[in-house]
Structure 1
């Protein structure tokens, strides 16, 4: 496996600074979550990891290698991504979409071999989509399609998984199964999540972004304080400990919710 390191990463788009001087370690084998309000730079930072954007300054390191110095095929063998724009508009079967994850490992027109087929089969089993293998992805629900795309990422056999809002469209059962899978694969994972309670349970460490800058990083129990949530998200919460896991869980202030509801009536 491998670790990631954001080294003074900055991204400027159309003269707007989206990410500024981000310094964050994603240790080998850890699940690290990026959280923050909309527009805080989370997805932009991820795009630099899966090579959809080039940094304006600084670098992203994969172990000791600057990602910008790697060939695209090499980085695709080591890093797999689920993006917010990761749609499938072609009439492929589920099995065909998952098999696309093997593309970085194949050269020329070489067909899938026994190992490739076994990897795809295992990925579909893990994401509970094997029974959909011959279905068109265009016929699937949003949640089913999301699981297919995550299976495709697993089929790459990456060292690092980069997932932008992976629980979108998933029902509660599949949210829990996916987050358990992340912790069980042993792979390094960098995940953007909006649900702070899910992030607290699923992640070993959190990085909190606001206005493109990192404002806090560390274990969820140290990062998710009422003061930080109020300052970054503008919401008053009470933090309690989960009775089984001990992970911090955020309870919204009832008075704050009532005020917000009154403001929309």
Structure 2
């Protein structure tokens, strides 16, 4: 798709951001309201939503609105109702899918629920939100941003549930682009590496040493930079972004030289390998 010269994001537009009460979703929202783009945050926890909205209003450009929707993206009917009601009074042009969860551990010892939980939120939840938002986005002119991960482009030790969901999300987004482009909608896929967030902070308390070593083969990128490159993609019309110069180069290297990428990963893992120590669970 031809890239635009004029920024698409401008004052007066309205965006919906899932997972907008924390992490990358909140940072994207901060940068949107600073540009004068109104934001409605969609997440489950009402108290966290209220705190996030208050912090955004303190940063928002004049005339910019900040709203919240307390809804579980796993509840298809709830999402349909919430977005339908919102669109009736505050039409929106941009949907940012940033909600997600992480589960990490040795495959043998992870509970079966880890796989269903991660897939339900990271993949099925995103699909439900897009289906609910699609009738309300302008055709042409609407924009959909999906936050996936470098883990959706490669495998990572300890991330069997997370990689499965993110790979599904990457394939879904690529296919969806072909379907929606003829209707005048643009789809943007963002694949960041690991970055500091509440999810990662919680993970750090229990993550396996192999996961830590393998994941940090690709250096972290500041969350503000990831958000900036995400919004730059919307402005320019860029279809896929791996934020950060080094992660983008390393991802390209893995794609072009997969054997070398696997060798580096195996060496990082071998240096700290411990393996599963607990008994198997169903």
TM-score normalised by structure 1 residue count: 0.37
TM-score normalised by structure 2 residue count: 0.35
* Structure holding more helix per residue: 2
* Structure holding more strand per residue: 1
